[in-house]
A and B are shown apart, each in its own frame.
Chain A
Amino acid sequence: MDILRFITAGSVDDGKSTLIGRLLYDSKNILADQLEAVERASRPQENGIPDLALITDGLRAEREQGITIDVAYKYCATLKRKFIIIDAPGHVQYTRNMITGASNADLVIILVDARNGIQEQTRRHSLIASLLQIPHIVVAINKLDLTGYSQQVFEQIKSDYEGIARNLNLPTVTYIPISALQGDNIVHPSANLPWYTGKPLLEHLETVSLLNDEKPQPARFPVQYIIRPQTEQLHDYRGYAGRITSGSYRKGDSVTLLPSGYSSTITAIETDGAEVEEAFAPQSIVLRLADDLDISRGDLVVKPDEAPALSKELELLVCWIDHKPLTAGNSYLLQQHSNRVKCSVQEILYKLDVHNLEEQPADKAQLNEIVKIRVRTASPLAYDTYEQLSSNGRLILIDETSNLTAGAGIIRAATAL
């Protein structure tokens, strides 16, 4: 069995939390006591069903205000698949929390309120989905019960969204008409939507392909921790612990260490203290090498024929997630996997307008804005562009004085050393 991680996105009050509540409720993934708790907490509803949004809105402030503030994770399973459900907030001010959820999603469900059509947040979340290259996109046109289950309304919104999808180069988008509140087309097909012939939402989620059928990826292994038992029997043992982020490694492979450029050979691959011949992403393993080299946390073990380039001049697309604005000239800690280097922002190249995707000049980036910047790092970074190899082309920027995570960035280009 495999796991699908999906996130719900869209504007405030488009019904994201209700949708998740409905999915869990109709697929019988809510236990009796949890439902009782929700019933106790909910105000009486018209249709006798408890306020399903309360299943995910767990914080006091969320219940008080009836909104989602931070990401909630819910877990459910059907006979076909396990799901990690990421319920993200819709408010602009909580976009950074939405990005937190979206960064680990295989699929995004973008909800659109049938009465309101495409909103600014629909565009912003679609842009984020596009930048993060989330492989699967579902546009769920919700609250159709309030528009008389009109096919025309559905088709109009679909056609509007197709324009966005074209501009953002989104991969295949699946459009599903639903009413989360009434339970139409969530788990069961709906008699109210006879004109819709596609799958209900849950069936789509159960069957969408997660197989990575792209060509094999270059191997990347960031060192997280060095195991040195220093016991009598294991006096010279030195193991490099980490998680393979892409590709695979075999015992006997020649490898290059980056950024140092040293070469060596894999003498053993260990998992759970036992040797294996081969290991692949996303396994956590221990690598042992033939040579005693100066290797530390953050170094990258790669294969010489597919090694990434090194650079100290990178162009990043960054979503700013700190209240303190990003200013050209400021310096930050750049963290790529387990590797941290200092960097300074040389220039803000442009700010991306969420409405029309225009590139506008900017000298600052405020909270939740998306900018392209040029940074210079204190030491060379072994990089891939996010487009080529997302797991080695993503990073965060940390404000060294507040320690806060201030930016989420993807590498767009770089000047190789």
Chain B
Amino acid sequence: MADYSLDYLGQLESEAIHILREAAGQFERPALLFSGGKDSITLVHLALKAFRPGKFPFPLVHIDTGHNFPEALDFRDELAARIGEQLIVRKVEDTIKAKGLTENKGKFASRNALQTYTLLDTIAEFGFDACIGGARRDEEKARAKERIFSIRNEFGQWDPKLQRPELWNIFNGRIHKGENVRVFPISNWTELDIWHYIRREKIDLPSIYFAHEREVLQHQQQLIALSPFIRIDEGDQVQNRRVRYRTVGDMTCTAAVASEAVTIDDIINEITATATSERGETRIDDRVSEAAMEDRKRTGYF
């Protein structure tokens, strides 16, 4: 008899495709939230597998903070053009102006929290009832608790105490008008699973994931790229370092890691040997408090 078994990447892939198709089957107006990072790029790859030769039953939506890496934005535009799918971009900058929002101040002032306003406005503008995202449960302890279909109230808020039980692989996406669902097809993938999958599938990534020379500022053991969005103080030492990005968020709140990894194999070896988690190493926004992610999700964040 033939070998009827799937290796772990095959299992994770099939599970993710199943979830994407459930989102397409259950919602009237879903959207795929695309950031230009490796997780959402993987999600797009999985969507191609789920829906080709048809078109995606949803647009790609990017909430642009205005602090993105230019390499990630270029990659985003190229990818959307190459696969011929609709890309909707909404800018945090515009929300700030229209609503008179107050920006964070400080050395690495982040627009992370303001993103939520633009996201919720975009959901309202297009009437999205589901937003598919590339969050993974291994990233962070609040995410470790979230369902694959995560129901949000009309303010986009997550209530961790009122989550719907999620049985087997049967998903209940029924909602009342105004509510929406966040759908996380790669919930069960780890950072290493993503990299092994990228290697197996030969998925293209923005260049900043690989080692390159960059002017950075060392701040409390983290390397922050020089950009117009951060404040350089007296005494700050700007260095030219060989770095890569382990995650791609805003330039103000994503740190680079010193690295010589130029191939995917190098990256896999580097992550396998590391003693620090992905977000711990690179995200300044999670360091605010013990429950920073839970608190943001409660206010409508992804």
Determine the distance from Cα of A195 to Cα of B172 in the docked complex, in whole angstroms.
49
**Interface assignment of B31: CB less than 8 Å from any CB of chain A:** no
Taking CB as reference atom, which chain B residue is nearest A296?
B25
Give the residues in chain A near B275, CB-CB below 8 Å.
31-32
A387 to chain B, nearest CB (A): 15
Give the contact stretch, choosing among A64-72, A197-205, A342-350. Answer: A64-72
Contact A73 B188 (CB under 8 A): yes
Give the contact stretch, choosing among A45-53, A147-155, A160-168, A275-283. Answer: A275-283
Give the residues in chain B near A56, CB-CB below 8 Å.
141, 144
Contact A58 B294 (CB under 8 A): yes
B168 to chain A, nearest CB (A): 5
A133 to chain B, nearest CB (A): 12
Give the residues in chain A near B50, CB-CB below 8 Å.
241, 284
**Interface assignment of A239: CB less than 8 Å from any CB of chain B:** yes
Give the residues in chain A near B25, CB-CB below 8 Å.
224-225, 297, 338
Contact string, B151-189, partner A, CB cutoff 8 A, digits 1/0? Answer: 000000000110111111110101110000000000110
Give the residues in chain A near B167, CB-CB below 8 Å.
99-100, 103, 394, 396, 405, 408
Taking CB as reference atom, which chain A residue is nearest B141?
A58
**Interface assignment of B138: CB less than 8 Å from any CB of chain A:** yes
Give the residues in chain B near A336, CB-CB below 8 Å.
170
Give the contact stretch, choosing among A8-16, A171-179, A226-234, A308-316. Answer: A226-234
Contact A2 B7 (CB under 8 A): yes
Contact B22 A69 (CB under 8 A): no
Give the residues in chain B near A243, CB-CB below 8 Å.
14, 17-18, 21
Question: Given A227-B51, A278-B2, are A58 and B142 also a contact pair (CB < 8 Å)?
Answer: yes
Taking CB as reference atom, which chain B residue is nearest A40?
B290
B291 to chain A, nearest CB (A): 5
B149 to chain A, nearest CB (A): 10
**Interface assignment of A360: CB less than 8 Å from any CB of chain B:** no
Contact string, B30-49, partner A, CB cutoff 8 A, digits 1/0? Answer: 00000000000000000011
Contact B51 A241 (CB under 8 A): yes
A140 to chain B, nearest CB (A): 22
Contact A241 B274 (CB under 8 A): no
Determine the distance from Cα of A395 to Cα of B170 in the docked complex, in whole angstroms.
7
Question: Given A229-B54, A273-B53, are A58 and B144 also a contact pair (CB < 8 Å)?
Answer: yes
Interface of B (DSSP majority class) = loop
**Interface assignment of B55: CB less than 8 Å from any CB of chain A:** yes
A245 to chain B, nearest CB (A): 9
B48 to chain A, nearest CB (A): 8
A99, A272, A335 interface centre (most CB from chain B within 10 Å): A272
Q: Among the listed B57, B142, B276, which residue makes an inter-chain contact with A59, where contact means beta carbons less than 8 Å apart?
A: B142
**Interface assignment of A158: CB less than 8 Å from any CB of chain B:** no
Interface residue tally for chain B (C-beta within 8 Å)? 62
Determine the distance from Cα of A234 to Cα of B281 in the docked complex, in whole angstroms.
47
Contact B168 A75 (CB under 8 A): no
Interface residue tally for chain A (C-beta within 8 Å)? 71
**Interface assignment of B107: CB less than 8 Å from any CB of chain A:** no
Contact string, A380-417, partner B, CB cutoff 8 A, digits 1/0? Answer: 00000000000100111010100111001000000000
**Interface assignment of B231: CB less than 8 Å from any CB of chain A:** no
**Interface assignment of B126: CB less than 8 Å from any CB of chain A:** no
Determine the distance from Cα of A82 to Cα of B176 in the docked complex, in whole angstroms.
38
**Interface assignment of B219: CB less than 8 Å from any CB of chain A:** no
Give the residues in chain A near B13, CB-CB below 8 Å.
284
Contact A99 B165 (CB under 8 A): yes
Question: Given A227-B54, A403-B174, are A284 and B21 also a contact pair (CB < 8 Å)?
Answer: yes
**Interface assignment of B244: CB less than 8 Å from any CB of chain A:** no
Question: Given A33-B281, A408-B165, are A394 and B170 also a contact pair (CB < 8 Å)?
Answer: yes
Contact A72 B281 (CB under 8 A): no
Contact string, A237-281, partner B, CB cutoff 8 A, digits 1/0? Answer: 101011100001000000000000000000000011100001011
Contact B276 A31 (CB under 8 A): yes
Contact B290 A37 (CB under 8 A): yes
B269 to chain A, nearest CB (A): 15
Give the residues in chain B near A74, CB-CB below 8 Å.
138, 144
**Interface assignment of A34: CB less than 8 Å from any CB of chain B:** yes
Determine the distance from Cα of A71 to Cα of B192 in the docked complex, in whole angstroms.
23
**Interface assignment of B137: CB less than 8 Å from any CB of chain A:** yes
Q: Among the listed A2, A75, A228, A272, which residue makes an inter-chain contact with B54, where contact means beta carbons less than 8 Å apart?
A: A228
Give the residues in chain A near B188, CB-CB below 8 Å.
73, 75, 84
Contact B142 A398 (CB under 8 A): no
Contact A73 B54 (CB under 8 A): no
**Interface assignment of A43: CB less than 8 Å from any CB of chain B:** no
* B contacts, CB < 8 Å to A: 1-2, 4-8, 10-11, 13-15, 17-18, 21-22, 24-25, 48-55, 57, 137-138, 140-142, 144-145, 147, 160-161, 163-170, 172, 174-176, 187-188, 190, 192, 274-277, 280-281, 290-291, 294
* A contacts, CB < 8 Å to B: 1-3, 31-34, 37, 40-41, 56, 58-61, 63, 69-75, 77, 82, 84, 96-97, 99-100, 103-104, 216, 224-225, 227-229, 234, 237, 239, 241-243, 248, 271-273, 278, 280-284, 297, 321, 333, 335-338, 391, 394-396, 398, 400, 403-405, 408
What 10 additional pairs, Cβ within 8 angstroms, besides A37-B290, A241-B50?
A2-B8, A59-B160, A60-B291, A75-B188, A243-B18, A282-B15, A396-B167, A396-B172, A405-B165, A408-B167
CB-based closest 8 A-B pairs: A58-B141, A33-B280, A284-B17, A227-B54, A403-B174, A224-B21, A280-B4, A32-B275
